[in-house]
Structure 1
Amino acid sequence: MTSILIIEDDSAIHSLIKDTLDLHGFKTISAYSGTEGKLLFAQTQVDLVLLDLMLPGMNGEEFLQELRHNSTIPVIVISAKDDQRSKLELLTSGADDYMIKPFDVKELLARIDIQLRHATNSSISNMKKIHYKNIILNLDTREVKINDQTLHLTGREYDILLLFLENPQKVFSRANIYESVWNEPFIENDKTINMHISNLRNKINVHEAHNYIKTIWGIGFKFD
Structure 2
Amino acid sequence: MTIRVLIVEDDKEIRSLIRASLSVEGFEVQTATSISEASAMLQHALPDVLLLDLGLPDGDGEQLVRMLRAQHNLPILIISARHQEAQKIRLLDAGADDFLTKPFSVPELLARMRVALRHRGTRLAAAVTEYMQQDLHIDLAKHTVTLRGQIVHLTPTEFNLLARLVRSAGYLVTHRQLLSDVWGPEYVEHTHYLRLYMTQLRAKIEDHPAEPRYLLTETGVGYRLAIMD
User: What TM-score comes out, normalization by structure 2 length?
Assistant: 0.52
CA distance in 1 between partners of 2:5 and 2:77 (Å)? 11
1:18 alignment partner in structure 2: 19
Residue 88 (1) aligns with residue 89 (2) = yes
Alpha-carbon RMSD across the aligned residues, in angstroms, is 1.4
Aligned to 1:62: 63
| 2:183 alignment counterpart | none
Percent of pairs with identical residues: 40
Structure 2: gaps (5+ residues): 124-229
Q: Which amino acid aligns with 2:27?
A: F
1:37 corresponds to: 38
Residue 54 of structure 1 aligns with an amino acid whose one-letter code is G
- Aligned counterparts of 2:122 and 2:4: Cα–Cα separation in 1: 17
Tell me the distance in 2 between the aligned counterparts of 1:120 and 1:21. 20
Highest CA radius of gyration, 1 or 2?
A: 1
Residue identity in the other structure for 1:38: S
Alignment of 1:45-194 (within 5 A): 45-120=46-121
Q: Does the 8 Å contact 1:22/1:28 carry over to 2? A: yes
Gaps of 5+ in 1: 123-224
Q: Secondary structure at the match of 1:77?
A: strand
Partner of 2:129: none
Spell out, residue by residue over 1:157-196, the C-alpha distance to the aligned partner (whole angstroms, 9 max, x if none): xxxxxxxxxxxxxxxxxxxxxxxxxxxxxxxxxxxxxxxx
Sort the Cα spacing of 1:45 and 1:89 in 2 relative to 1 into closer, same or farther, 3 A.
closer
Q: Aligned AA for 2:20?
A: D
What CA distance in whole angstroms lies between the structure 2 residues aligned with 1:48 and 1:120?
A: 13
Question: Distance in 2 between the 1:45 and 1:67 partners?
Answer: 10
SS at match of 2:83: coil
Distance in 1, matches of 2:76 and 2:11, equals 18
Matched residue count: 122
1: distance between equivalents of 2:86 and 2:59?
A: 21
Counterpart secondary structure, 1:61: helix
Equivalent position SS for 2:79: strand
Amino acid at match of 1:36: E
Amino acid at match of 1:77: I
- What residue identity is the alignment partner of 1:78? I
Whether the 8 Å contact between 1:33 and 1:59 is mirrored in structure 2 is no
Q: CA deviation at 1:41?
A: 1.1
Distance in 1, matches of 2:73 and 2:66, equals 11
Letter in 2 for 1:44: A
Letter in 1 for 2:11: D
Runs of 4+ in 1 over 4 A off after TM superposition: none
Which letter maps to 1:59?
Answer: D
Q: How far is 1:95 from its partner?
A: 0.3
Distance 2:106 2:9 in 1: 15
Name the CA distance, whole Å, in 1 between partners of 2:108 and 2:27: 16
Compute the displacement of 1:121 (Å): 5.8
